Structure 1
């Protein structure tokens, strides 16, 4: 009898966890910031390890950053669970053996979204900086 109670409790706990995940996913999709439709102009600044930089003005109808960067063929990477993991920017591939990676910021503030989930609006300014060290 006690085994049955434990099993029932475990099943109820797993079902609750699944329901909570589904609810959080729904809420995230409903309230996450969306990109602005229509034409817009953004600026993307690529900053190398020697702090030299190159700016790109991009005219786009894209609603998310990845689309705009793909249009200009500025990035390459590998697909992962959270979208594209950017490994190459403007022809420069980060060397993971040297702990190099590309850091995405907007107006100097680090973003909590990937290039796939970063919405665009007219006048946005982004920086993609080659960073050393985990």
Structure 2
């Protein structure tokens, strides 16, 4: 009969090694599940997001100035996105920093007085940029000159 001499702490080392192996497996499975959930969310978002309409559309774009006065513009366009329709009508100017700061000849400058343009659809601020806002026939959009938040 042979006895194996086991150094003190060997069982602890073996158990710890097994736990690390299980931990790596758990992290790998968690990462795979996370990637699958993100992919599913993107597919659902893409599937349920608004699709551009082809053809002519009539939209109303209302500009509310700093003094509260407003001006309505009725646009007939074949464009599919709000920014393209407004550029086509000459109502907005694209700035070098990627923002539309000038609307209907009025510039909002955050660095001077914290002013900016709030773009909304039927009174509700849009959740995407004007380049991504799909337009449909008979919709109403507003650009409100806003100072601060």
Same fold by TM (over 0.5)? yes
Higher share in strand: 1
**Which structure's CA Rg is the greater one?**
2
Gapped runs of 5+ residues in structure 2?
A: 1-17
Q: 2:116 aligns with which of 101, 124, 129?
A: 101
Q: Does 2:83 align with 1:61?
A: no
**Number of residue-to-residue matches in the alignment:** 129
- The aligned counterpart of 1:20 is 37
Q: Which residue of 2 aligns with 1:88?
A: 102
Structure 1 residue 130 displacement after superposition? 0.9
The answer to which structure, 1 or 2, has the higher relative contact order (CA under 8 A, 6+ apart) is 1
- Please tell me whether residue 122 in structure 1 is matched to residue 143 in structure 2: no
Could you tell me how far 1:8 is from its partner in structure 2?
1.8
Q: Indicate conservation of the 8 Å contact 1:34/1:63, yes or no.
A: no
For the residues of structure 1 that align with 2:25 and 2:89, how far apart are their CA atoms? 55
Deviates further, 36-45 or 6-15: 6-15
Displacement of 1:23 in angstroms is: 1.2
Q: Does the residue aligned with 2:66 lie in a helix, a strand or coil?
A: coil
What RMSD, in angstroms, separates the aligned Cα atoms of the two structures?
1.8
